[in-house]
Amino acid sequence: MRELLARYMPPDYSAHGYEVDNLIIWTHWLMFVLFVFWSAYFLYVLYRFRASRYPKASYRGMESHWSTWSEAGVAVVEVILLAAFSIPAWYRWSSRPTREANPVEVRIVAEQFAWNVHYAGPDGVFGRTDLKLVSSTNPIGLDVSDPYAKDDVVALNQLHLEVNRPAIIHVTSKDVIHSFKLPVMRVEQDAIPGMDVPIHFTPVRTTNGDRWEVVCAQLCGLGHYRMRGQLFVDSKEDLQKWFASQTPENPATPAANPVPEATPAQPVTTTGS
Interface contacts to Cu ion, rule CB under 5 A? 178, 216, 220, 227
Q: Which is nearer to Cu ion, 109 or 220 (CB)?
A: 220
Let me know: does 149 contact 247? Beta carbons within 8 Å: no
Q: DSSP state, 86?
A: I
Q: Minimum Å distance from CB 199 to Cu ion?
A: 16
Q: Minimum Å distance from CB 226 to Cu ion?
A: 10
Q: Which is nearer to Cu ion, 160 or 178 (CB)?
A: 178
Q: Minimum Å distance from CB 173 to Cu ion?
A: 8
Q: Minimum Å distance from CB 215 to Cu ion?
A: 9
Angle at 252 between CA 249 and CA 253, to 5 degrees: 100
Q: Minimum Å distance from CB 231 to Cu ion?
A: 16
Q: How many CB atoms lie within 10 A of CB 15?
A: 15
Residue 158 burial by Cβ neighbours in a 10 Å radius (0-12, 13-18, 19+): middle
Let me know: does 24 contact 5? Beta carbons within 8 Å: yes
Q: Which is nearer to Cu ion, 154 or 227 (CB)?
A: 227
Q: Which is nearer to Cu ion, 163 or 192 (CB)?
A: 192
- Residue 194 gets the label, from left (phi > 0), alpha (psi -120 to 50) or beta, of left
**Burial 238-262, CB ≥16 within 10 A → b, else e:** bbeebbeebeeeeebeebeeeeeee
Q: Which is nearer to Cu ion, 113 or 201 (CB)?
A: 113
Spatial separation of the C-alpha atoms in residues 122 and 141, rounded to whole Å: 20
